[in-house]
Amino acid sequence: MSGWLVGLVLTAVAIGAGSELSEWRKAREESLRGPSGWLSVAGLFWLTPDDAGNGEFTIGSGPDNKVQLPASAPGHLGVLSLKIKQVTLTVADGESAFVNGKVATKTALNSDATDRPDTVQVADLRFRIIERGGRVGVRLFDPNAKTRTEFKGLKWFEPTDKYVVTAKFTPYVPHKEIRITNILGDTAPVGSPGYVTFSIDGKEYRLDAESEGDGLFFNFKDLTNGKTTYAAGRFLNTDKPKDGVVTIDFNRATNPPCAYTAFAMCPLAPKSNYMPVAIPAGEQFSGHH
């Protein structure tokens, strides 16, 4: 193949890769902006039970409710009953709510600890039951939240091949448990299938991986955090290892949900994933909430 043809092919490959990254970044922003995206998360209400694990919590837009919804909701929608982590919604007479699109009167709600969490819709609002660290709560989604309506779009570093690295994957046999702490201070063990090692500017770095779907997930910190990226760290997904090798594209690194709503409970990077190097690639952060 002649030199000019080789150059043409390489240029086409580069353009294709750039186009794919551009589409991926576009989808990332659309996901954040969606009606159930992180920019719409507008409230988090913990349902604090009594000593027996039970409780009754009024819900609605009125100021006397324990779970206070925005003004678009009825003043007194009904009651959320908690019995040992099971939440049941009882809708007040004359009011209207839907669970997964079906009219609700008295409905037991699946939390996000199950495979099929339920979504409750009231007017233009949605909420779900979540479980975190032994707590049970209500996560509210509001399409009119300021974090969504005033969002000015994501900002990214310019893509660069320098931060697309080929990493060696070393499995833990058996899987290792790493301690992950979230922003509430809850700490729990998370299984790690292995770690990766790679070089940037001639220096070697190492990151512990977590399993996510069919691939790997990395929760890491670097010297851009708190300057041009979110202070607590960043997230990155990759394909699963192939022949002991993983391609890590830092151009696809993203800020955690906590960068876009005050009502997320993000996991913090384990200390093993603190990198003493700046990685100016991927999603930037300029303060959205």
Domain ranges of the chain: 1-33, 40-144, 152-273
- Give whole-number Cα distances, 228 to 5, 108, 237, 283, in Å: 39, 44, 20, 9
269 burial level (CB within 10 Å; 0-12, 13-18, 19+): buried
Mean pLDDT of 271-289: 90
Confidence of residue 36 (pLDDT cuts 50, 70, 90): confident
Q: b vs e for 76-112, b when ≥16 Cβ sit within 10 Å of the residue's Cβ?
A: bbbbbbbeeeebebbbbeebebebeeeebeebebbbe
Confidence of residue 102 (pLDDT cuts 50, 70, 90): very high
> What is the arrangement of strands in the sheet containing 215-220, beginning at the earlier edge strand?
210-212, 215-220, 234-238
Lowest mean pLDDT among 12-21, 46-55, 121-130, 234-243: 12-21
Answer whether residue 283 shows pLDDT above 50: yes
pTM above 0.85, yes or no: yes
Half-sphere exposure of 101 toward its Cβ, with a 13 Å CA cutoff?
0
Average pLDDT across the chain, whole number = 92
Q: Which fold has domain 40-144?
A: Tumour Suppressor Smad4 (2.60.200)
Residue pair 248/164 in contact by the 8 Å Cβ criterion: yes
Answer whether residue 1 shows pLDDT above 60: no
98 Cβ contact list (under 8 Å, min separation 6): 104, 120, 121, 122
Answer whether residue 170 shows pLDDT above 50: yes
The helix/strand count (H/E) of the chain reads as 2, 18
Mean pLDDT of 221-232: 96
What was the pLDDT predicted at 17?
A: 56
Question: Percent of the chain, pLDDT > 70?
Answer: 93
Q: Is the N-terminal amide bond of 117 cis, ω within 30° of 0?
A: no
Rounded CA-CA distance 99/87 in Å is 13
